Amino acid sequence: MKSIKQKKTLFLLLLYSLFLALSISSIYLSMIHQQQLFLGDDIQFHLGRIEGLKMSILSGDYFPKINYFFLNGMGYASNIFYPDLLLYPAALLRLTGLTIAQSYVVYLIGINFLTFVISYHSFHLWSRNRQKSILFALLYSLASYRISDVIFRAALGEVLALMILPIAFIGLLKIVNEDYKQFYFLMIGMTLMFASHLITAFIFCLFIIVFLLLNWKKLIQEKQRILYLVITAFSTLCLVAMYFFPMLEQLQFQKLMVQTDPMFYLEKTARPLSYYLKNAWQNIGFNNLGIFNFIMMAVFLFKGKKRSLTGKQLLFISYLFLFLSTSYFPYRLFNQTLLNSIQFPWRFFTIVTLCMSWLISEELEQLLPQKKIIQRSYLPVIGLLLFTSCLFYQVGLKTTMFEKGRHVPYSFFAKVNPEIVGYGREYLPSGFKYMMNPHELIIEPSSSKVNNLKRNYDAMTLDFQETKKTRLLFPIVYYKGYQVEVEGQATVSQIKKSEIPYGFCEVEVNGTGRLTFKYEGTTIQRVSSVVTLVSALCLSVYIIKLNSHSLNKQNGEKNKGSTT
């Protein structure tokens, strides 16, 4: 028994070493070589998120709702709409003294490594086959679409969601096809995905709907599986309460740009299949599904008649979501619907990548000749091809005309631009355009006596003395959760949104006293946080009890066998 455990430990140590080497080398030419970093599309926005979280921690605000790095300190509610739960490791790296570029690169290496590890163990839970599990880890983690997300788009939220996606998928498979009492895999996966990238979580929900429809007969015959799906949905909502309900609250509180001024429409960003095939063949771009996936989709369509039911379903879903990624789908009919929040149809490549990686790993060996040399060599051959493709992709970023010159030294990011808050500036009040000095006030009338103005992170204090009503406009973007208090012989109005200039926090005061303006949060934020914490505690107790029962059962069977 001891030797078996030692062999297993040694195997995992060697495997993890391989994964770590691939995690570094898969981004080496674009992010590490010569200490240069590819200037990805969203990189400065995500670096700003990291800087803002570091600033909050240093200020004693360990779970911030507003990012005060953005907009030169005026505050941006990115933390409410773009949860930073999985961003803490990067912020902690900054606190150790690493530069923002160094922290980002080390953080990405960690994400790459965990993607390999999670994908391997997720598939192993399903197949109990090491070779197939390694193949899935390679196919999924080195997939062209994921690599382009990491490097070209610098889509950190989506990259984090891709890391989590296999956990959610194995959870769905458990509920539908295996031990539905392990529904917690889907709960954990969906919760972490929601905390990483809301759009990917929405796309995966569409995938879940399709998968359940394909399995409706089995679900009707085994109604307990439907019950656990309902339990999973409700429990997941409780787990994400601390993110979901504060988000809804802000959207109901006022109109934001994401609601009134969408920058992207699916109809305009969709491309024909020939465009995606060209990108895959040339191994370029940010919507690169990878030529290997296209080839295998064709192979599995015409071969492999003995394919499992799950395999057939995954192939169908791959073709369905590939179709949804193209301009052939009538997206003009969905411009004003929730579907348009996906922004780019090629984000459906996430599902195609997952399904094809899973299908290939599960059933490729059945398509190959059963000769030992082929069965033993196909894994390293495919791994080498994937790694080579990844290297050529990085080389192409340095040589092709469009991307050439986008590699910049780490020092380029010494001062991250705080005004870059994403292309659409989605979470600003609709119509917001003005900029203010974050350490000054707009006072009307200007002759009013306001002294000792101080700002410390999210709090501003001042002394005032005025018998008439005085309008104070704070250099803080208007969101629900700000509070104002006064001490002394004075009165103060409720905070409201300023009209001129538009979108800031405004109050009226009169009398003599001291005013304190600060973000205190909301009741919904506090209650939803308690709901999430209680739900997480209950889930932990359930998992411990379930695993303890399973372990006792296994030990009982072993003892019974030894007695016999």
β-partners of residue 465 are 449, 512
Three-state DSSP class for residue 254 = coil
Encode pLDDT of 295-343 as tens digits. Answer: 999 999 988 667 889 999 999 999 999 999 999 999 999 988 889 889 8
pLDDT at residue 111 in the model? 98
Query: Which residues of the chain are modeled with pLDDT < 70?
Result: 1-2, 304-305, 401-403, 550-564
Q: What 8-state DSSP symbol labels residue 411?
A: G
What are 392-421's pLDDT values in tens digits? 999 998 887 566 778 999 999 998 989 888
Do 118 and 166 meet the contact criterion of CB atoms below 8 Å apart? yes
- Pairwise CA distance, residues 440 & 462, whole Å: 11
pLDDT tens for residues 500-546? Answer: 889 999 999 999 999 999 999 999 999 999 999 999 999 999 999 88
What pLDDT is stored for residue 547 in this prediction?
83
The rounded distance, in Å, linking the Cα atoms of 390 and 358 is 19
DSSP assignment, residue 141? Answer: H
CB atoms within 10 A of CB 438: 17
Q: Are 29 and 38 in contact (CB under 8 A)?
A: no
3-state secondary structure of 223: helix
Task: Give Cα 333 distance to the centre of its chain.
Answer: 28
Query: Helices 372-399 and 130-141: crossing angle, nearest 10°?
Result: 10
pLDDT at position 305 is 67
Using only C-alpha atoms, the chain has a radius of gyration, in whole angstroms, of 27
Counts of helices then strands in the chain (DSSP H, E) = 21, 8
d(CA 521, CA 527): 11
Token duo for residue 262? 């969408």
Instruction: Give bridge partners of residue 488 from the DSSP assignment.
Output: 513
- HSE of 467, CA atoms in CB hemisphere, 13 A: 0
- The residue behind tokens 């990115």 is 78
Kindly state the tokens that stand for 440.
Answer: 């000054």
Alpha-carbon gap, residue 81 to 256, rounded angstroms: 11
The per-residue pLDDT of the chain, averaged, comes to: 92
Residues paired with residue 487 on neighbouring β-strands, in sequence order = 514
User: What pLDDT does 556 receive?
Assistant: 62
CA distances from 346 to 271, 287, 422 (A): 8, 6, 19
For tokens 């709090």, name the residue: 459
Domain ranges across the chain: 2-413, 442-521
CA distance 498 to 519: 17
CA distance 332 to 335: 6
Distance in angstroms (rounded) separating the CA atoms of residues 266 and 331: 6
Question: Are the CB atoms for 19 and 110 separated by under 8 Å?
Answer: no
- By residue count, the chain amounts to 564
Max CA pair span of the chain: 96
Query: Does residue 353 contact residue 289 with C-beta atoms inside 8 Å?
Result: yes
Backbone angles phi, psi at 111, to 5 degrees: -65, -45
What is the model's pLDDT at position 382? 95
| C-alpha to C-alpha distance for 30 and 406, rounded to whole angstroms | 10
Output phi, psi for 446, to 5 deg: -65, -20
d(CA 230, CA 169): 16
| CA 299 to each of CA 136, 141, 354: distance values in angstroms, whole numbers, following the listed order | 18, 22, 17
How far apart are alpha carbons 20 and 91 in whole angstroms? 21
Q: For residues 473 and 441, what is the distance between their CA atoms, to the nearest angstrom?
A: 6
* Three-class DSSP category at 473: strand
